[in-house]
Amino acid sequence: MKIELIPAIDIIDGKCVRLVQGDYARKTVYNENPVEVAKQFEDHGIKRVHLVDLDGAKAQHIVNYKTLEKIAGQTSLIIDFGGGLKTDKDLDIAFESGAAMVTGGSIAVKDPGSFENWIKKYGGDKIILGADVKDGKIAVGGWLENTDQSLMPFLRNYVDKGISKVICTDIGKDGMLQGTSVDLYKEILAEFPEMYLIASGGVSSVNDIEELDRAGVPAVIFGKALYEGKISLSGIDFINR
């Protein structure tokens, strides 16, 4: 299997949690110690994790950088970090705390000038575009706010400015364990064949990951399926072979 496996670790109050469709009121705490979770992933051959500061996404500035620091310091995982990154200072803190890459979503919509400056300063290898989609339109602010921006023109704009890595989350699928938006990802890759597209939302089983792999999707983020036992760590070993 070619697809890169990227487990998600979502953080609220320094704890590993998952939300349903981005709803903070529908939160489940899975582990009090995210470092422990990260080490388990590493032990099973995972090379990279997607760390999301949900407190930061709500507060509009980085909050859980100490958790980032601990995971970076106690594992050799490549960490891409997102949630609440709005200023150059937020970015500096994230990189200084051990992030290899950062994801910008809301800022790419609300403050495109700053986001474009980040791309120029750090390059497309370190800056990932977060494209969260609801009914074909981009959503921002931890999915609490919809926009009238359509997905494809939004992606085209930033690909033209040097973005090569995109995390695309179908909000309607996230946390539902009902399968991924594989047709949407095929559509994106048909339009942007060189893009390092990271599928996110809806993974419920190894079969979903295999389907994305067959569709040529380069990478997948998944979380709830792991935490709910739909995919086991031994299942990760199997996929990684």
User: What is the set of active-site residues?
Assistant: 10, 132
Q: How far is CA 232 from CA 8, 47, 83, 143, in A?
A: 14, 17, 27, 28
- State the amino acid at position 30 in one-letter form: Y
Cβ–Cβ under 8 Å, residues 182 and 215: yes
**Tokens representing residue 190 in the block:** 């048909």
The pair phi, psi for residue 60, each rounded to 5°, is: 70, 25
DSSP state of 7: E
Residue with structure tokens 């599928």?
Answer: 199
**Tokens representing residue 36 in the block:** 């422990």
